[in-house]
Amino acid sequence: MLDAETNSAGPPEEQTSFAQEAKRSWTLRLRKYILRELPPEHLLPDNEPAYVGSWVYVFGVITIAALAWVIISGVILSFFGPQWWQVSPQGHFVNSTHFWSVQMFFIFMVLHLWGQFFAAGWRDGRAATWMIGVVVFLVSLVTAFTGYLSQQNFASQWIAINAKDGVNSTGAGAFFNVLNFGQMYGLHILLFPVMVTGLVVLHIVWVRRRGVVKPLEPGIAS
């Protein structure tokens, strides 16, 4: 190992050599940075303040649970394809599970977002945590939109035709063609889910890093 602390024995010149190699080791610097910014007792705490039991944080947990169901049902749907989920009874069930999981995801994410907004959740150095949550919401909107465009039914076609001119008016139609099923389907099952999941994980890590914001003091709004 290149860690100088574990190689303190030996002549001074060897200790100096180990220290110099440790300074050049990016893995060692990265490990020390992670341990400093996110120690294990923060990442996996064994106790939390009483106010963590607030419904606002329960809504956040339900949002994550709904996202898990969205991903599981989405993987099944993408494996069997549009014909299966439009014709097969089993496909109808999984498709409905996916749809209602998305509804639950958005309902409880908005409740969590509103709760944190009115509680000023960006206080005490938690602005990054708050902004990551906002970005999750915005990316999720686009993900849901591409999901509606991927249904391959009359509703999907109606949404695509009505959205075409709106998207083209922004200039995004050159690379975001809502009438292109292959493009919308690929974005929906690959790029956007990875973005949403990665941002949610980052949001959780930042919550663990900074902790949960304390409730507002009585009378602070006045």
Contact at 8 Å (CB) between 61 and 108?
no
DSSP run (H or E) holding 89: helix 89-118
Statement: the pTM of the whole predicted model exceeds 0.85: no
* Residue-range domain boundaries for the chain: 4-37, 49-210
Per residue of the chain (222 residues), give pLDDT as tens: 444 444 445 566 555 665 666 667 888 888 888 888 888 877 788 787 888 888 999 999 999 999 999 999 999 999 999 889 999 999 999 999 999 999 999 999 999 999 999 989 899 888 999 999 999 999 999 999 999 999 988 999 999 999 999 999 999 888 999 999 999 999 999 999 999 999 999 999 999 888 888 888 776 554
**φ and ψ of 119, to 5 deg:** -95, 5
DSSP secondary structure string, 101-149?
A: HHHHHHHHHHHHHHHHHHTTTTTTT-HHHHHHHHHHHHHHHHHHHHHHH
Contact at 8 Å (CB) between 92 and 53?
no
- The per-residue pLDDT for range 1-13, each reduced to its tens digit, is 444 444 445 566 5
**φ and ψ of 159, to 5 deg:** -60, -45
Q: Assign domain 49-210 to its CATH superfamily.
A: Cytochrome Bc1 Complex; Chain C (1.20.810.10)
**Positive or negative torsion for Cα 68, 70, 73, 75:** negative
**Token output for 50:** 């009483």
**φ and ψ of 215, to 5 deg:** -65, 155
